[in-house]
A and B are shown apart, each in its own frame.
Chain A
């Protein structure tokens, strides 16, 4: 008899289960969230050589890196938002590790996002998805695929004088996912879990407010969501164990079973 893990190892070795990387490279010019300048900002990624097989260290190469907890492909812990400040186990070091591995479903919102850069995911979109793929199971990650990660440079944040323009969930949709479907977390390809104009919604930044207030997690700045099936993938997303951290850059991987 072979156990589940042995079967998984076999499937990974044979290629029947593929590991998909949903992570952007950490580079100095990857866009970060921009706030009004009087607020503290999200520091972009920076890397400085400490030595590179030279007089600073003859046989080794290593770099010093700096960034914000919310730089690049990153995880939002509940305590990131004021609504989640009192959530038990709401920081990166106290979240139960079982929550870092689990199922994920992907809602394809690419057509809507292509048609309207401010497109909001509504409850009706979720219900239409469920008509095709079945009810979203409890304690599951939900990813919103928009293909936004394929945008380059200034088109990614899509900042204009009235702020950023990018898709995200409506207040009702995120409440539906948390309260009616009891999801574990919500993930996006955009710079945040909320839409670019979400500051004007009620409540402002509904994904942050609702998810984190209910002790749920966020993942953002992901890429290659088009390589995931609508259902059936397993997500591996463990933030760094930062003491009382509000979030963390991380490597987001998905296990995908190949058909046939």
Chain B
């Protein structure tokens, strides 16, 4: 029985905030490929293209036929727990704080057996479902879950540490004016977030969504303009130490590419918001959050960058937006490296065309505000570092994973 997680008490100001200590991060290249799958929330193993054998742990060659033709494929995660034990002592500073650590051997229905962590409600000879998640070092961790949902399943300490569950956490949405802001706030609160802060740029303009947001409850609308460092600093001074999840949805979008206008005005505004805005947030909130990765039940846990899928595969007609997304993605990767080990996950969430005024002339499918909100919350709960929202982003992301050069050529073909 998993004990339900209690809301955290107020912090004791006399106690030092625990310092994040990274778990060991060194792996082979083959094992790092498992982390790539984990970042996308996929349970995938190496399948030998020559003899068909599925193997674990990842290796450079097939252990049955020595073929180098190993393909990563999504694999049936069901299996049987056949042995369990617990680690009760370790000199490792990360794991020392988490003892005892239950581990077991699972015989997968797909063939291989693997050693993995165990959810608190898994024991004996249970049938289990194995998930592949990344840890604070950015490496893959396998965890066996009960086959069926059990009460408070997400509250298990091992599982919670591998997710970025909004439950009992405080979330900042950086742009309250974005069309998805109300749906996102509602979805986060429904998932158990204790408070949602929403940044409002240009308070001197009308803000029709204000009453809708205020009616939701537990939402605080606060001045924030990511293009103005003073504004970002001021808000970070106020809530930087109690932002557990930051969702950066601030964006400036105008259709067109480099040749659309005889100037760089829109391009500068796009980059100033989407790319430099992210840097301003990282320099303020990022530093505050990285220091709070071990801060109890509501530790800082996730930073979500909402990026256009054009960041990976440039979109025809949206050259500036694709360029801004690509620049922001590079910043995001750098942040991920900088924040690695802190316990704060940097997630890239790629969206297809949104159902908004700037994509009005595009045909469906488009990403609705509620679909975007659902995608963000489920990726947070699943602890992903890479996620998509909408069919177009999902399809293009898969094509990009398969063959980036082909995906780009295909996307830009007339």
Contacts and interface: CB of A to CB of B under 8 A. Distances in A.
B204 A29 contact: yes
Nearest to B208: A161
A21 B184 CA distance: 46
Interface stretch (A40-48, A198-206, A215-223): A40-48
B206 A159 contact: yes
Given A28-B230, A28-B231, A40-B265, A154 B225 contact: no
A29 B228 CA distance: 9
A157 B225 contact: no
Interface residues of B, number: 19
A159 B225 CA distance: 19
Interface string A155-167: 0110110000000
B359 to A, nearest CB: 14
Nearest to B204: A31
Given A31-B204, A153-B204, A46 B227 contact: yes
Contacts of B230: 28, 47
A243 to B, nearest CB: 17
B206 A156 contact: no
A156 B204 contact: yes
A159 B207 CA distance: 10
B202 A157 contact: no
Given A40-B263, A40-B265, A40-B266, A157 B228 contact: no
B15 interface: no
A31 B204 CA distance: 6
Contacts of B227: 46
Contact of A154 (B204, B231, B265, B266): B204
Interface in A10-39: 28-31, 34, 37-38
Contacts of B65: none
A34 B201 CA distance: 14
A41 B202 CA distance: 14
Which of A28, A41, A43, A48 has its CB near the most chain B CB atoms (within 10 A)?
A: A28
Given A28-B231, A47-B230, A159 B205 contact: yes
Interface in A34-66: 34, 37-38, 40-41, 43-44, 46-49
A79 B203 CA distance: 31
Contacts of A37: 357
A220 to B, nearest CB: 16
B36 interface: no
Nearest to A49: B229
Contacts of B357: 37
B11 to A, nearest CB: 31
Contacts of A160: 206
Contacts of B225: 28-29
Contacts of A43: 269
A206 B220 CA distance: 43
A154 B205 contact: yes
Nearest to B261: A40
A172 B229 CA distance: 45
A210 to B, nearest CB: 28
A48 B229 contact: yes
Contacts of A49: 229
B266 to A, nearest CB: 7
A46 B228 contact: yes
B203 A154 contact: yes
A163 to B, nearest CB: 11
B354 to A, nearest CB: 15
A47 B227 CA distance: 10
Which of A153, A154, A159 has its CB near the most chain B CB atoms (within 10 A)?
A: A154
A238 B263 CA distance: 28
A72 to B, nearest CB: 13
A40 B263 CA distance: 10
A46 B232 CA distance: 13
B156 to A, nearest CB: 46
Nearest to B223: A29
A5 B22 CA distance: 74
Task: Give 9 nearest A-B pairs by CB, closest first.
Answer: A28-B228, A31-B204, A40-B265, A153-B204, A159-B206, A154-B204, A48-B229, A154-B206, A153-B203
13 contacts: A28-B230, A29-B228, A29-B231, A30-B204, A34-B205, A37-B357, A40-B265, A40-B266, A43-B269, A46-B228, A154-B204, A154-B205, A156-B204
Given A28-B230, A29-B204, A154-B206, 13 more contacts: A28-B225, A29-B203, A29-B225, A29-B231, A31-B205, A38-B254, A40-B265, A40-B266, A47-B230, A49-B229, A153-B203, A154-B207, A159-B206
